[in-house]
Amino acid sequence: MSKPTSKADAGRLMLMLNALRLPATKAIWQTFAERADTEGWPAARFLSALIENEIAEREQRRLARHLNEAHLLAGKTIANFDFAAVPMVSKAQINALAEGDAWIDNGDNVLLFGPPGGGKSHLASALGLALVERGWRVLMTRTTDLVQRLQTARRDLGLEAAIAKLDKYHLVILDDLAYVSRDQAETSVLFELISARYERRSLLVTANKSIGDWSEVFPDPAMTVAAADRLVHHSTIFEMNVESYRRRAASTRKGPGRPATRATPKNTPDNQAGTQSDAV
């Protein structure tokens, strides 16, 4: 059995681990060292155990950081999406999109159309979560919120930089695109975002108006055609034309305070009437 590590050696090791920014190894090396001494591990096994632990901890921190920045809707997963209520959406196709490999690499898009309450936001967020778990970077935002930030950037002469900053996200989810006001200033920055990401970075769009009605979003007919063309090219489109699950719940309510089964968890704020996420 090897001699125990001296306090001086342990102190120097701690300093070096700090310098190398290896917090997980700093926290666990003494426990691993004691076990290695007790069980007679060779040096290679001891080092491998430390490195494997550091890699696993880094992956967990990366995942937590990317989930925090994604701003996804709480509790929305593919597993708890009610595919039976939206029969035109194939679970197998959604699971394939969740892998992300082909379409994210190519900068392709996903478009979810349908009336309010059909689960578009749920499905968009669920796809975003699956992609983050597979290593992709995702941002989900109300389209109106992002447009306002881009308008501010334009006023500060920083629109190009603001759009470029979004390139760090492999996928930007534009929720509720049809709620953007029919205003030249708003729709022009939205068009610039769509154009900048075209065939480079992916967009996932939810809207309660089909592309044929986007003249109500973009005031300029030429801009409407150009935006639609860029989004539809290399895209997967889902027409989720189903009855609102809120209306279904209301029509089948058996008594006060007892809603029918929903596509999203009951205890999430996004599932309460009047929230923006329920508006889709």
Q: Residues 187-222: pLDDT tens digits?
A: 889 999 999 999 999 999 999 888 777 777 777 788
CATH classification at residue 144:
3.40.50.300
Band (94; pLDDT cuts 50, 70, 90): very high
Q: Which domain holds residue 215?
A: 71-259
- d(CA 14, CA 279) in angstroms, rounded, equals 53
64 and 76 both lie in a single domain: no
Buried b (16+ CB within 10 A) or exposed e, 4-13: eeeeeeeeeb
Q: How far is CA 228 from the centre of its chain?
A: 23
Q: Using alpha carbons, select from 172, 179, 199 the residue that is nearest to residue 69.
A: 172
61 and 190 both lie in a single domain: no
19 and 153 both lie in a single domain: no
Residue at a domain's end among 20, 43, 68: 68
Residue 185 has pLDDT above 80, yes or no: no
Residue 9 has pLDDT above 90, yes or no: no
61 and 76 both lie in a single domain: no
pLDDT at residue 4, rounded to an integer: 59
Rounded to 5, what percent of the chain is helix, strand, coil?
Answer: 60, 10, 35
Decide if 270 is inside a domain: no
Q: How many domains are contained in the chain? A: 2
| Mean pLDDT value across residues 134-158 | 94
| Mean pLDDT value across residues 237-256 | 68
Decide if 267 is inside a domain: no
pLDDT at residue 33, rounded to an integer: 84
Residue 275 has pLDDT above 80, yes or no: no
226 and 137 both lie in a single domain: yes
194 and 216 both lie in a single domain: yes
| 15-19, 56-60, 179-183, 250-254: the lowest-pLDDT one | 250-254
Decide if 23 is inside a domain: yes
